[in-house]
Amino acid sequence: AQKVTQAQTEISVVEKEDVTLDCVYETRDTTYYLFWYKQPPSGELVFLIRRNSFDEQNEISGRYSWNFQKSTSSFNFTITASQVVDSAVYFCALINAGGTSYGKLTFGQGTILTVHP
């Protein structure tokens, strides 16, 4: 069975602070994909990143960066110099890359990030 744990239920920071959202996963599969999604107050799901299990290189996209460590089964997400518009719920998700997995994502519980001005 697959499991995604986001231990931080809520995080509150002041604008311009850096913040890291933790994600730990469990899977028996050797090939899988990891995702981060953002859900702003308006409710839609915004795709942020997909990373496959063979690629452990860290990735940076503007103020966002992701640290994938297979050894600790973690896929953490850092926002540098946070802004009020970053306030949202962030979800980490996992999917088996095998032929029968199709679109059956396993989501974490989400972390509510509030950035105060």
Partner 1 sequence: NAGVMQNPRHLVRRRGQEARLRCSPMKGHSHVYWYRQLPEEGLKFMVYLQKENIIDESGMPKERFSAEFPKEGPSILRIQQVVRGDSAAYFCASSPPGILSGELFFGEGSRLTVL
Nearest-approach distance from CB 111 to partner 1, in angstroms: 10
**Residue 33 makes contact with partner 1 by CB under 8 A:** yes
Number of residues that bind partner 1 (CB under 8 A): 27
Query: Positive or negative, the Cα torsion across 64, 70, 71, 74?
Result: positive
74 or 101: whose CB is closer to partner 1?
101
Residue 37: CB atoms within 10 Å: 20
Cα(86)–Cα(106) distance, integer angstroms: 23
Contact 95, 27 (CB under 8 A): no
Among 8, 65, 80, 107, binds partner 1 (CB under 8 A): 107
Residues that bind partner 1 (CB under 8 A): 4, 32-33, 35, 37, 42-45, 47, 50, 91, 93, 95-98, 101-110
